[in-house]
Chain A
């Protein structure tokens, strides 16, 4: 630190820190969010990374927000974490994809009014040289068995997301427990995992939506698709107001009605990347 001589600054009492703090305060107030943004009612939804990263929510939410004069706060995490946030009442509704976990969530009384929203499917990605011979597999399960048998590198989400749940189901069906140097648990989002698998020349399981959105950024190709076991339905569930009285149940139901109704279904059906649809609205079922 510089040694201070006697100058006029010394006469003032700690002028600079005071001015610095005042300056920061001024900055804090100046950049404060506008009152309009704070006034609107906020609906909080936790969802999977795939709905947000694909860009679907960017087109799906604004019409709803305009119609009901509210603002949607989206927390994009994996399905496991999303449901956890619903369980603790930190969100008003959840929009996820892991049917068995969703049913458990509703059965345990954490959520009510579960509805099917849309679906797409999972695909098995790998490099074109396909060292484990996944292309020749008879089923998705067989493909997984081949990857395990060959000890070919596989990048797993490893984050309890819907995709991770599906992956675990497939390993189980293939009769193996993935373990070893070849099996990498990334603990990251879908996009990140596709990127890692691309860099490491590994296999991975991805939802088609994220894969299409990423196609330009990866040279991995679809090696297996179309099996019934690779089906990927998305559901939406309101958090149970009986358990958490503070949740905005009425508005949550409005949103559920919106996405499963004519307008929402139309937006989902029309949403595409380079002309390719990413999601298909679920066929309508009675409430």
Chain B
């Protein structure tokens, strides 16, 4: 398997030389993933808490729906957002298609159900007595919820990390809404797709390695945070 060894060698030299195009793709990936996870957390965590902490009709159906939404294919989300932000769509005037912002919107929609579901299951797994107890002790409802949040912070963290893992590794949304524009919307995953289509496996493998390294780095940072 000289071929694989050769690809690996070239990819390592690209990483060590800090190839500018490669660095740019890594930056773009981190940029869109970080923003989309921030947005997804702002939407998903409250949704998870709200569904987990309140009783309302058709709650089970809502939970089933939330679960199913985790399986929505990335290309479908890409297609839907495309319809909205293309010049012929309702938000066409904003000129968002083929910009990092379009990828952030799509990725945020992709990650929200994941964050919401995992936040929901950590709420359900938490000691349900916390809320009434905190309220009996004189806390407001808001304070009690914060108390609960701090109790389930590891679950919330896991939710955010899973969301990040999902968006940093996906290719469908980035390709459709970003258009794989060199120096602008080319992300790690779209470069891997492009380089594979060109038969250039070395750069693809290099990016695959970096992608895994980034995921590892993010998880290590969060782990350190958890220990403190």
Contact = CB atoms under 8 A, between A and B. Distances in A.
Interface string B181-222: 111100000000000111100000000000000000000011
B86 A90 contact: yes
Interface string A81-95: 000000011100000
A73 interface: yes
A162 interface: no
Contact size range, A: 35 or more
Contact of A17 (B98, B149, B181, B197): B149
A20 B225 contact: yes
A195 interface: yes
Interface residues of B, number: 49
B147 interface: yes
Q: Is the interface of B mostly helix, strand, loop or mixed?
A: helix
Nearest to A32: B31
B85 to A, nearest CB: 9
B221 A23 contact: yes
A28 interface: yes
Contacts of B183: 37, 71
A24 B164 contact: yes
B91 interface: no
A265 B154 CA distance: 61
Interface stretch (B8-16, B33-41, B60-68, B73-81): B33-41
Interface in A1-50: 1-2, 4, 9-10, 12-17, 19-21, 23-25, 27-28, 31-33, 37, 44, 49
Contacts of B87: 88-90, 244, 246
A20 B157 contact: yes
Contact of B100 (A33, A213, A214): A33
Interface of A: 1-2, 4, 9-10, 12-17, 19-21, 23-25, 27-28, 31-33, 37, 44, 49, 53, 71, 73-76, 88-90, 188-189, 191-192, 194-195, 213-214, 217, 244, 246
